């Protein structure tokens, strides 16, 4: 831009100089050398020189102002501290066994834009824009289901508080956003991807206003708290509103991790215990486990949930995962329903990954179990 403006300034100054020289050139044939010699010492040439300098000064001033305007436009057109990432998930598959599902081949997609801006180099203003659509056959997949229209799925502002604390405030996001639940299993289905930590992490909250904070205790220990409020007509922290809050203590190393999570769910309390272990030998799988107990108020029965997952990160070109657990929280006075899944995820290139998977969800007596076979292709750019 600077070199362009220098050239532009030269182009503007040149016509002014040529304009001054043109009358003199046109009159050259009418003057003899003596007249020119005499004229060169006259007062008129001094006046012309003064006019030339003033004209050039004005031109330079105007060009400098134009250059400043260009620089301001360039600097403010798009912040250099703003980044964007994009992802697309496309799936095809079928679910057999449950009359509530259409037993036919179905498709689904999810599209997400994540924007992040920093103002100090340590904070982050993040916005997630989502769209997605799919049939009931693939509702078990963790894909966006808001329809073809792009909507704001979450907005957060994260900033450090001192050297060891981090704070997140936002809307339409989980109050447990800064939790460090001890699980290294990458779940495929909605039922098993929470590692058995469904209620204590209050991911099912209304996701209105949210607040989360974490603190690095040291020696591998971290602590976190979270709040998620309804944030609608009933307000926040009122008798009529639905408010959830909780906390977590976690410990993590390269090979071992554990976490204890507590949540007050307005009408219930939940405790979650999670842990993982990874072997130094890459041929052996990592193990992630979880157990959760929820105590409900009133006549509603208490609930429990458990989960176990194995994942091999290096199996051929990709990774293999298998998991089993309850089909979400299970009432203590009801028959326990189970969920199973297996997937193999392998990258085609840096921005494209294909994941074939199979899952089974048990149903109540009198209904067939759901068996799903799916292939999902994920793009990131």
Q: What pLDDT score was predicted for residue 53?
A: 57
Does pLDDT of 44 surpass 80? no
Phi, psi of 281 (to 5 degrees): -80, 115
Instruction: Quote the mean pLDDT of the chain.
Output: 82
Binned at pLDDT 50, 70 and 90, residue 9 comes out as very low
* Residues 109, 89 contacting (CB under 8 angstroms): yes
Identify whether residues 122 and 250 lie together within a single domain: yes
CA angle 108, 325, 214 (to 5 degrees): 80
Identify whether residues 206 and 118 lie together within a single domain: yes
Angle at which helix 2-26 crosses helix 43-76, to 10 degrees, equals: 160
Identify whether residues 61 and 95 lie together within a single domain: no
Q: Which of 76, 98, 113 is the last residue of a domain?
A: 76
**Cα atoms in the Cβ-side hemisphere of radius 13 Å centred on 39:** 13
Percent of the chain with pLDDT over 70: 75
* Residues 230, 236 contacting (CB under 8 angstroms): yes
Identify whether residues 116 and 48 lie together within a single domain: no
Q: What pLDDT score was predicted for residue 379?
A: 97
pTM of the predicted structure, to 2 decimals: 0.76
Identify whether residues 28 and 157 lie together within a single domain: no
Distance in angstroms (rounded) separating the CA atoms of residues 171 and 208? 5
**At which residue do the structure tokens 């994540």 appear?**
114
Identify whether residues 59 and 96 lie together within a single domain: no
* Residues 199, 302 contacting (CB under 8 angstroms): no
What average pLDDT score do residues 181-187 get?
Answer: 95
Strand partners, 272: 261, 292
Distance in angstroms (rounded) separating the CA atoms of residues 98 and 359? 13
Does pLDDT of 326 surpass 50? yes
Identify the domain containing residue 107 by its residue range. Answer: 82-380
Strand partners, 254: none
Tally of structural domains, the chain: 2
Binned at pLDDT 50, 70 and 90, residue 15 comes out as very low
Identify whether residues 65 and 117 lie together within a single domain: no
Q: Check residues 73 and 138 and name the one with the higher pLDDT.
A: 138
Binned at pLDDT 50, 70 and 90, residue 239 comes out as confident
Identify whether residues 144 and 32 lie together within a single domain: no
Greatest pairwise CA separation for the chain in angstroms? 122
Q: What is the pLDDT of residues 94-148, one digit of tens each?
A: 888 765 556 778 899 999 999 999 999 999 999 999 999 876 778 888 787 777 8
* Residues 240, 255 contacting (CB under 8 angstroms): no
Identify whether residues 256 and 341 lie together within a single domain: yes
Q: Which of 43, 76, 109 is the last residue of a domain?
A: 76
**At which residue do the structure tokens 């979450």 appear?**
154
Q: Which of 42, 76, 110 is the last residue of a domain?
A: 76
Distance in angstroms (rounded) separating the CA atoms of residues 327 and 333? 15
Identify whether residues 112 and 60 lie together within a single domain: no
- Cβ-Cβ contacts under 8 Å for 263 (sequence gap 6 or more): 199, 200, 201, 202, 244, 245, 246, 269, 270, 272
Q: What pLDDT score was predicted for residue 371?
A: 92
* Residues 248, 179 contacting (CB under 8 angstroms): yes
Identify whether residues 27 and 112 lie together within a single domain: no
Strand partners, 227: 211, 245
Binned at pLDDT 50, 70 and 90, residue 69 comes out as low
Q: Check residues 65 and 8 and name the one with the higher pLDDT.
A: 65
What average pLDDT score do residues 344-362 get?
Answer: 96
For the chain, the C-alpha Rg in angstroms (whole number) is: 34
Does pLDDT of 151 surpass 80? yes
Identify whether residues 49 and 109 lie together within a single domain: no
Percent of the chain with pLDDT over 90: 55
Does pLDDT of 249 surpass 50? yes
């Amino acid at each position: 831009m600077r070199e362009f403006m220098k050239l532009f300034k030269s182009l503007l100054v040149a016509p002014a100089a040529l304009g001054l020289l043109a009358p003199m050139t046109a009159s050259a044939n009418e003057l003899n050398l003596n007249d020119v010699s005499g004229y060169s010492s006259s007062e008129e040439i001094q006046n012309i020189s003064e006019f030339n300098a003033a004209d050039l000064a004005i031109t330079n001033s105007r060009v400098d102002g134009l250059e400043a305007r260009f620089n301001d436009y360039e600097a403010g057109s798009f912040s250099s501290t703003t980044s964007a990432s994009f992802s697309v998930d496309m799936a095809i598959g079928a679910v057999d066994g449950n009359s509530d599902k259409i037993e036919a081949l179905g498709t689904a997609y999810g599209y997400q834009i994540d924007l992040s801006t920093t103002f100090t180099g340590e904070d982050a203003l993040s916005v997630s824009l989502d769209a997605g659509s799919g049939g009931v056959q693939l509702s078990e997949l963790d894909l966006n289901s808001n329809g073809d229209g792009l909507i704001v799925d979450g907005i957060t502002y994260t900033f450090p508080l001192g050297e060891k604390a981090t704070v997140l405030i936002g809307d339409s996001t989980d109050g447990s956003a800064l939790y460090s639940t001890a699980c290294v299993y990458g779940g495929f289905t909605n039922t098993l991807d929470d590692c058995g930590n469904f209620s204590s992490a209050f991911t099912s909250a209304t996701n209105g206003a949210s607040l989360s904070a974490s603190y690095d205790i040291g020696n591998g220990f971290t602590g976190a708290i979270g709040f998620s409020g309804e944030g609608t007509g009933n307000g926040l922290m009122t008798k009529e509103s639905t408010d959830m809050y909780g906390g977590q203590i976690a410990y993590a190393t390269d090979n071992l991790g554990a976490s204890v999570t507590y949540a007050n769910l307005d009408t219930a309390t939940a405790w979650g215990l999670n842990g993982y272990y990874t072997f130094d030998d890459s041929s052996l799988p990592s193990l992630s486990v979880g157990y959760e107990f929820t105590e409900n108020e009133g006549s509603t029965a208490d609930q429990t949930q458990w989960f176990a997952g194995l994942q091999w990160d290096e199996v051929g070109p990709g990774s293999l995962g298998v998991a089993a657990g309850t089909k979400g929280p299970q009432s203590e006075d009801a028959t326990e329903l189970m969920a199973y899944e297996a997937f193999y995820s392998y990258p085609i290139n840096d921005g494209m990954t294909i994941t074939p998977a199979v899952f089974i969800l048990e149903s109540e007596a009198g209904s067939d179990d759901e068996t799903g076979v799916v292939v999902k292709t994920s793009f990131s750019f």
